[in-house]
A = this chain, B = another copy of it.
Amino acid sequence: MSVFEREIVVRFEHCDAAGIMFYPRLFALVNEMVEDWFAAMEHPFSALHIDQHEGVPTVELEAEFIRPIRMGERLTQSFRVLHIGHSSCRLLHEARVGAELAARFEHALVFVDLATMKSQEWPLNLRAAMTRYEDHL
């Protein structure tokens, strides 16, 4: 099992007029994690979307926001893979400020052919790479 993790500084642009992170931008940061994960597994989004006309749209998201996230704070984002299905997977994301859990998401995405938007089976090498991050908790 391996956790995918990064640390970012909360930027001016992430924050709203209240000086706290605007939640749609946290979802964009969550999506960046998924993008980095696919790149680390040698399926970068550029090849996936542009060359292969495949994508991984989000089909479900359950989010809990526990603590406001403020400009300038260091945010640690991490996720683990809860489940890998035939053509989908389920991730558990966490965002922490220091030791405090700030937000938590369960996130299901599905592997699709962009032409038809139908789900399709994960390629074997991608699936093998994904399992290295799997963690049944």
Q: Chain A residues in contact with chain B, CB under 8 A?
A: 9-13, 15-20, 22-25, 27-28, 31-32, 35, 39, 44-47, 49-50, 55, 57-65, 68, 70-72, 114, 117
On whether the beta carbons of A63 and B65 are closer than 8 Å, the reply is no
On whether the beta carbons of A15 and B17 are closer than 8 Å, the reply is yes
A41 to chain B, nearest CB (A): 15
A44 to B72, CA, bound (A): 8
Given contacts A72-B46, A72-B47, is CB(A15)–CB(B13) below 8 Å? no
Given contacts A35-B11, A45-B71, is CB(A58)–CB(B17) below 8 Å? no
Give the residues in chain B near A12, CB-CB below 8 Å: 16-17, 31, 35, 45-46, 49
On whether the beta carbons of B19 and A57 are closer than 8 Å, the reply is no
For the complex of A and B, the 10 pairs showing the least CB-CB separation, nearest first, are: A46-B72, A24-B27, A46-B71, A24-B28, A61-B63, A17-B19, A12-B45, A15-B17, A18-B55, A62-B62
Other 6 A-B pairs with CB < 8 A, given A11-B35, A20-B55, A61-B63: A10-B46, A15-B17, A17-B17, A24-B27, A49-B71, A61-B61
